[in-house]
Amino acid sequence: MGKPTGFIEHRREVATEAAPLVRIGHWKEFATPLTEDKLQTQGSRCMDCGIPFCHTGALISGMAAGCPVNNLIPEWNDLVYRGQWKEALDRLHKTNNFPEFTGRVCPAPCEGSCTVGLKDTPVTIKSIEKAIIDKGFDEGWITPEPPEVRTGKKVAVVGSGPSGLAAAAQLNKAGHWVTVFERADRVGGLLMYGIPNMKLDKKYVQRRVDLLEAEGITFVTGAHVGVNYPIEKLQEEFDAIVLCGGATKGRDLPIEGRELGGVHLAMEFLSKNTKSLLDSEHADGAFISAEGKDVIVIGGGDTGTDCVGTSLRHKAKSVTQFEIMPKSPDTRPANNPWPEWPKVHKVDYGQQEAAAVQGEDPRQYLINTKKFVGDENGNLKELHTVLIEWQKNEKGGFVPVEVPGSEKVYPAQLVLIAMGFTGPENTVLDQLGVVKDERSNAKADYGKFATSVDGVFAAGDMRRGQSLVVWAINEGRAAAREVDRYLMGSSNLP
């Protein structure tokens, strides 16, 4: 695998990115890929490590260690090193239906578990993955492959995010007739409207959807199952149903002033922005604009970062990001050993851009919002905060304790709440009578994916709660195998 001395001879190198002040002037992806010879050199750094933790996909301390879809990383790194790109593409597609998505938006837990990372910088796995799939499309190696034989069985997939698309792709390969129902006007779910265009250009999402359609999958948009498309019709017309609706209920902040104009959940802001961009390049004005406003983003995860980057492209007056947790350390602490996901301080694209515009990282740590205050017209004008410390209570758990005298008022005309998601919407689950778990997700065991209702399966965030795109693909693929087994008595799907 790779070159035995590759990681000794060569340093890690990743794609170059356009300067922050340049890229905030547009909505396009801004990374310039490495050349083929440099990618081959990077592939050579993948040493013969014996036990490649990069593709284990294990959960350690509640987080992914290694690739959740078990990508055959050492194999395709070696093939790239040797210039065998088409063979590398075949290996990549064995485990991952959509490398063009994961190669762009996955946080790369594989790299966090790379053996080279024990003493050096990890192999540039994510960059190589993206290069393989992009070359596959560029060279025309990826073409529609409809199944040769149809089973006559019909399967409905509710939701066209990564888990829904993965389930549909696999079930179609097995020869079933698959129909995917999407309530939005475009297919893709989170991939289409939840992730900004500069992070995942929608042409890549549409390219894959077009390919799946050419392979025989039917997509129905504007179909909100349980609202304008009856559940009963779904049950009557299909032999099995796969629920992949995601965890779309945003965690709110029900404090004083929440009803004021200018306070929004992050996904409302992001989805309307992308839809308006795709529909009219923002000419229709059908989005929440941050232009000229003091913007506060409450939440420090990926969604919060996307809100920062989007606000800057709107030409916000200022952008500040609140995190209730402390700043992570710069290096792994003793209680976060390899191959766990490294819980270290990171500066993502949004923070890079804010620092370039404003002169400093936009994040404020250990801060809690107490209330929103509006003007005489009912619009937000400021918010009140206090610093906190995390202290142990009598039960040994950590709780936030306010720091006396740390109160502060921030001017704000737009607040974006990016505090994560609490679970799936209840409409479909309640109408079908699906039993839910204690977190309000569809109750279905991992590995089986069958709900309490016969013939109804659940996968992705709707089953496991908010998670990564790569976990959604993992679940969609695995659920498809169980649906195939349910319909046919056995399955050859991986």
What angle do the packed helices 85-95 and 73-81 form, to 10 degrees? 170
Q: Residue 307: which domain range?
A: 252-419
The answer to whether 26 and 199 have CB atoms below 8 angstroms apart is no
Cα end-to-end distance, the chain, whole Å: 24
Q: Are residues 132 and 219 in the same domain?
A: no
In this structure, the strands spanning 363-365 and 367-374 are unpaired
Q: Are residues 190 and 301 in the same domain?
A: no
State the Cα–Cα distance between residues 127 and 373, nearest whole angstrom: 45
* Region class of 83: left (phi > 0), else alpha (psi between -120 and 50), else beta: left
Quick: pLDDT tens for 237-251. Answer: 999 999 999 999 999
- Residue 199 resides in a domain: yes
State the Cα–Cα distance between residues 173 and 493, nearest whole angstrom: 8
In this structure, the strands spanning 31-32 and 58-60 are unpaired
Q: Which of the listed residues 383, 400, 419 is the one where a domain comes to its end? A: 419
Say what the pLDDT of residue 6 is: 86
Q: Are residues 483 and 468 in the same domain?
A: yes
Q: Are residues 403 and 427 in the same domain?
A: no
Q: Tell me the two tokens of residue 167.
A: 């389930």
Q: Which of the listed residues 373, 391, 419 is the one where a domain comes to its end? A: 419
Q: Are residues 256 and 376 in the same domain?
A: yes
- Residue 144 resides in a domain: no
State the Cα–Cα distance between residues 327 and 390, nearest whole angstrom: 12
Q: Are residues 355 and 463 in the same domain?
A: no
Q: Which of the listed residues 138, 165, 187 is the one where a domain comes to its end? A: 138
- Residue 101 resides in a domain: yes
Q: Tell me the two tokens of residue 151.
A: 């089973």
Structural domains in the chain (count):
3
> CATH no. for residue 68?
1.10.1060.10
Say what the pLDDT of residue 336 is: 92
Quick: pLDDT tens for 215-273. Answer: 999 999 999 999 999 999 999 999 999 999 999 999 999 999 999 999 999 999 999 99
Residue 119 phi/psi, 5-degree rounding, is -125, -5
Rounded to a whole number of angstroms, the CA Rg of the chain reads 23
- Residue 145 resides in a domain: no
Q: Are residues 262 and 376 in the same domain?
A: yes
Say what the pLDDT of residue 1 is: 67
Q: Are residues 221 and 279 in the same domain?
A: no
Q: Are residues 260 and 405 in the same domain?
A: yes
Q: Are residues 265 and 412 in the same domain?
A: yes
- Residue 214 resides in a domain: yes
Q: Which amino acid is at 249?
A: K
The answer to whether 349 and 305 have CB atoms below 8 angstroms apart is yes
Q: Are residues 44 and 174 in the same domain?
A: no
Residues in the chain: 494
Could you tell me which of 254, 285, 263 has the C-alpha nearest to residue 272? Answer: 285
The answer to whether 363 and 378 have CB atoms below 8 angstroms apart is no
Q: Are residues 20 and 108 in the same domain?
A: yes
> CATH no. for residue 305?
3.50.50.60
Global confidence as pTM? 0.95
What angle do the packed helices 162-173 and 202-214 form, to 10 degrees? 20
Say what the pLDDT of residue 7 is: 87
Query: What would the 3-class secondary structure string for 342-395 be?
Result: CCCCCCCHHHHHHHHHHCCCCEEECEEEEEEEECCCCEEEEEEEEEEEEEECCC
Q: What is the residue-level pLDDT of the chain in tens, covering all 494 positions?
A: 678 888 888 999 999 999 999 999 999 999 999 999 999 999 999 987 888 899 888 888 888 899 999 999 999 999 999 999 999 999 999 999 999 999 999 999 999 999 998 888 999 999 999 999 999 999 999 999 999 999 999 999 999 999 999 999 999 999 999 999 999 999 999 999 999 999 999 999 999 999 999 999 999 999 999 999 999 999 999 999 999 999 999 999 999 999 999 999 999 999 999 999 999 999 999 999 999 999 999 999 999 999 999 999 999 999 999 999 999 999 999 999 999 999 999 999 999 999 999 999 999 999 999 999 999 999 999 999 999 999 999 888 999 999 999 999 999 999 999 999 999 999 999 999 999 999 999 999 999 999 999 999 999 999 999 999 999 999 999 999 999 999 999 999 99
- Residue 147 resides in a domain: no
- Residue 149 resides in a domain: no
Cβ atoms within 10 Å of 331's Cβ, excluding its own: 9
Cβ atoms within 10 Å of 334's Cβ, excluding its own: 5
Q: Tell me the two tokens of residue 230.
A: 């009856």
**CB pairs under 8 A, 24+ apart, for 313-317?**
313/24, 313/25, 313/26, 313/27, 313/198, 314/289, 314/290, 315/290, 315/291, 316/290, 316/291, 316/292, 316/414, 317/292, 317/293
State the Cα–Cα distance between residues 447 and 393, nearest whole angstrom: 38
State the Cα–Cα distance between residues 179 and 187, nearest whole angstrom: 12
- Residue 108 resides in a domain: yes
Instruction: Identify the H or E element spanning 93.
Output: helix 85-95
Say what the pLDDT of residue 240 is: 98
State the Cα–Cα distance between residues 383 and 256, nearest whole angstrom: 10
